[in-house]
Amino acid sequence: MESQFQKYLGTQTTLTDDAIHAISSCAIARTLRRNELLLEPGEVCRHKVFIVSGLLRNFITTANGNEHVLHFSPELTWTLDVESYDKEIPSAIAIGAVEPTEVLLWQKADFNKLLADIPLLKQFSEQLVARTMYYNRQRMATILSASPEEKYDDFTQRFPGLIARLPLHMIASHLGISLKTLTRIRHAQLLR
């Protein structure tokens, strides 16, 4: 039976069935409980991660214990700590499950071999990196320039499916606004 991941590659790429099979067969499946960490700060990020179902967040925890969400990764997206993975250095961030989550993991050596063997996978991978760069640039611009209301509107438009799945404090932390401000914005919108 075709897996969720195989369907995803089939619709997102022009990879052959053989290539899709080769990529799938190197993956290690893992299930995470809510709040379980896939990567702890200080650990080396040794895997590419595909989210089959559920929701992960990449976040940092400051010395005073505050958490700041760098980004969310819902089902059918990829994540990792790119600097830790590339350089094999300890990660400054954590990756944790917001909900029960199923992931596929590829070890770096295995994934590198796939990239070398399958040029279309390399091309797809470069497209994903580029999209992440565009998104991060836009996110930086929004964080620097937008009002709290604009930040929230941008988030709801970009990720309409996520609002109902996330605790408010995580949305606030992702937007770089206080929980109080977020609550005020949402209350005002209900009255519109």
CB of 84 to a second copy, least distance (A): 10
68 interacts with a second copy by CB under 8 A: yes
State the binding string over 35-64 for a second copy (x if CB under 8 A, else -).
-------------------------x-x--
> Would you say 20 or 93 has its CB closer to a second copy?
93
Pairing mode of beta strands 78-79, 101-107: unpaired
- Asked if residue 65 lies in contact with residue 23, where contact means CB atoms within 8 angstroms, the answer is no
157 interacts with a second copy by CB under 8 A: no
Identify which range of 4-12, 13-21, 65-73, 117-125 contacts a second copy by CB under 8 A.
Answer: 65-73
State the binding string over 111-150 for a second copy (x if CB under 8 A, else -).
------------------xx-xxx-xxxxxx-xxx-----
Query: Token pair of 191, please?
Result: 């009255």
Taking CA 29 as the corner, what is the angle to CA 24 and CA 35, rounded to the nearest 5 degrees?
A: 140
Footprint of a second copy on 162-191 (CB under 8 A): 173, 176
> Would you say 16 or 178 has its CB closer to a second copy?
178
DSSP 15-79: --HHHHHHHHHT-EEEEE-TT-EEE-TTSB--EEEEEEESEEEEEEE-TTS-EEEEEEEETT-EE
C-alpha span between 154 and 146 (Å, rounded): 9
- Asked if residue 70 lies in contact with residue 58, where contact means CB atoms within 8 angstroms, the answer is yes
92 interacts with a second copy by CB under 8 A: yes
Q: Which residues would be at the binding site for a second copy (CB under 8 A)? A: 60, 62, 66, 68-70, 82-83, 86, 92-93, 129-130, 132-134, 136-141, 143-145, 173, 176
